Amino acid sequence: MKKVAIIGAGMMGTAMAWPLSDNGYEVRLIGTHLDNDIISSCKDNHFHPRLSRQLPDNVIPFYNNEISKALNGIDFIVSGVNSLGVHWIGKTLSPFIKPGDRIITVTKGIEANKHGNFVILPDVLKNELPETMRDQINIAAIGGPCIAGELAGRRQSCVVFAAENNDIVDYFKQALQTRYYHIWTTSDIVGLEISAALKNAYAMGVGLADGILEKSGGVDQSGSFMFNLAAALFAQGCNEICKFLKIMGVTETFPQNLPIAGDLFVTCQKGRSYRLGFLLGKGIPFNQAAEIMQGETLESALVVNQMQKILSSMVRKGVISNQDFPLMRFLIDLIHFQKPVHLEFDNFFNEECKI
Amino acid sequence: MKKVAIIGAGMMGTAMAWPLSDNGYEVRLIGTHLDNDIISSCKDNHFHPRLSRQLPDNVIPFYNNEISKALNGIDFIVSGVNSLGVHWIGKTLSPFIKPGDRIITVTKGIEANKHGNFVILPDVLKNELPETMRDQINIAAIGGPCIAGELAGRRQSCVVFAAENNDIVDYFKQALQTRYYHIWTTSDIVGLEISAALKNAYAMGVGLADGILEKSGGVDQSGSFMFNLAAALFAQGCNEICKFLKIMGVTETFPQNLPIAGDLFVTCQKGRSYRLGFLLGKGIPFNQAAEIMQGETLESALVVNQMQKILSSMVRKGVISNQDFPLMRFLIDLIHFQKPVHLEFDNFFNEECKI
């Protein structure tokens, strides 16, 4: 039997067990040090508490300290940690990694390095590996609209895989595609990582509309919501993701619809990022909103804080002006500087961006 | 006092009275022959029953047979009819129209002419005017995400105005922009009309996911919806709108985010098109679904039926292949040929389209 390891037993990492298992893999699900409760439940009842699902039969749970055994004889690794765990997984894998090893990552996020330059998470992971190994492993990434619980429920999902090397991305497509998990591919891993990260921030931006609605008294006596505002924020989010991709040199072959509009759409279906936006839209300062949502990883806020550094650096270098990315700047004001909500539309859509 | 006439007292046409009135216009709201009940209510109580709102003070309602009086001394006309009324409004205006007259239209839809060629509605309207007059009137169109009830509630809305002539589009922007009605402009009226029409059809496509979910037993025991499927349909909808625009020669300056992603997003917020998709997704044949929704104008179905003719003509001419526009073809199967729901993903995203 073919074997594979998923590291990180959160919802998205674990959800990958379904297509893998359906494709005949023995799936070794390795918890991080933060996943002991989850792994304990998986070992006891073969039940994943956060996904609320029985695991497929051929999933074997492992505690973090069993990683050495779990990585033995596997075909590839799925990195299922969140953005805070990327450095950790790089360090953790270092003693085990061999030339030619393959990793596919579901992690969404971006990092600013000490110069304020944008770094994609697969590179952050690579940079934690021994220097001689960095160019000898093959990393692929996953983007596009995919809620973990739905994938685990074998609901129809359309996603994009990216790797610089076509053979690698085709290998992973072969390993993971099923009748419900549909995969398109691209060599543009930078484009895919940017889209996957930024959509969390902009979904929070769309969520603001619901909060602003509630603050202003809710649905009015004639039944009107604030969907027009939400849609404008959605469109401006698409525009800014597109613009950032373009500045970062995304190629024309990048399949943008699933990773930008599609992923932003699914992330606006009342997930964490959207709910954070709702709280901020109501006028709750970020630190209080974060307390209300405590226990949840606020990827959207992490992305906004990184973008504060990245946009500042881009302005210093003359790559963009202070007026560019007005919605992201507004989110930075809310999250990073904790200013009150005051939307200005004047700078929206002033520069329409196309790839 | 500046004066303006809105012809068609439906929701969207009437909603234009708010920004016009706030900008100091006397607004003459002229019903069609189908709007007598609405105009009667407006005359009696200054209350619009479908918008569930009191009209602004400086709106004056007129019955259809008072049109001659109502059009006297106005600065411009807002065409507020639906797509079925475009020929009618052209004919109705013919006796009154003068060279240099200005019309701005909120109507969404497309038509195939007898050769199966695509015609935008402003041209359909023009073609009903006396031949000598056709090139002497100025028509502008409105697109972008704007639910009528929200505009009438003075909710923040971001829209796009289009006219071939820049002076005309600037004139209308000046006349209509307010602190809540934000207007961007383009000379690409064909692009805007295509986006505004097709988004209704594709919103129905997105709505299918909710129906398929219900048919398959609804939210599962782990709480999973079918948002991944909805997002894939959303992305493919954006892709196909973009592709159609490109075939129709849309220019690179077209501000696509509000008219495509933004307008599709707002139309997916449980409007008529979305609800029709929901019924079809449940497996209800189109003729029964249309009965369930009787009394509502099904713009989405009208667009799909026109697209059946247009795509067939494009295939005959060798402009596209039989595999192109797989989601629209699927909608044509559902609406035009009344086939059962069976989604095929293989042709999705095979040709990613950019403007």
pLDDT at A345: 79
Q: Are A13 and A80 in contact (CB under 8 A)?
A: yes
Q: Rounded to whole angstroms, how far apart are CA atoms A38 and A31?
A: 8
Q: Give the pLDDT mean for B271-289.
A: 94
Q: Give the pLDDT mean for B263-267.
A: 98
Q: In this complex, which of B156, B232, B235 lies closest to A228 when CB atoms are compared?
A: B156
Q: Using the beta-carbon criterion (under 8 Å), do B158 and A225 form an inter-chain contact?
A: no
Measure in Å the smallest separation between the Cα of B49 and chain A Cα atoms.
10
What's the complex ipTM? 0.97
Q: Are A20 and A113 in contact (CB under 8 A)?
A: no
Mean pLDDT computed over every residue of chain B? 95
Q: What is the pTM of this model?
A: 0.97
Q: Are B119 and B25 in contact (CB under 8 A)?
A: no
Query: What's the pLDDT band for B346 if we cut at 50, 70, 90?
Result: confident
Chain B residues lying within 8 Å of A266, measured CB to CB:
227-228, 230-231
Give the helix/strand (H/E) hosting B302: helix B299-316
Q: Using the beta-carbon criterion (under 8 Å), do A235 and B262 form an inter-chain contact?
A: yes
Residue-by-residue DSSP string for B277-290: HHHHHTT--HHHHH
Q: Give the pLDDT mean for B209-235.
A: 96
Q: Give the pLDDT mean for B260-264.
A: 97
Q: Are B140 and B196 in contact (CB under 8 A)?
A: no
Residues in chain A with pLDDT values less than 50: none
Query: What's the pLDDT band for B355 if we cut at 50, 70, 90?
Result: low
Q: What is the pLDDT of residues B164-216, one digit of tens each?
A: 999 999 999 999 999 999 999 999 999 999 999 999 999 999 999 999 999 99
Token representation of residue B344? 């095929």
Report the share of chain B in percent with pLDDT over 90: 90
Q: Are A265 and B265 in contact (CB under 8 A)?
A: yes
Q: Rounded to whole angstroms, how far apart are CA atoms B8 and B79?
A: 7
Report the share of chain B in percent with pLDDT over 70: 99
Chain B residues lying within 8 Å of A254, measured CB to CB:
352
End-to-end Cα distance, chain A: 43
Token representation of residue A93? 């894998």
pLDDT at A193: 96
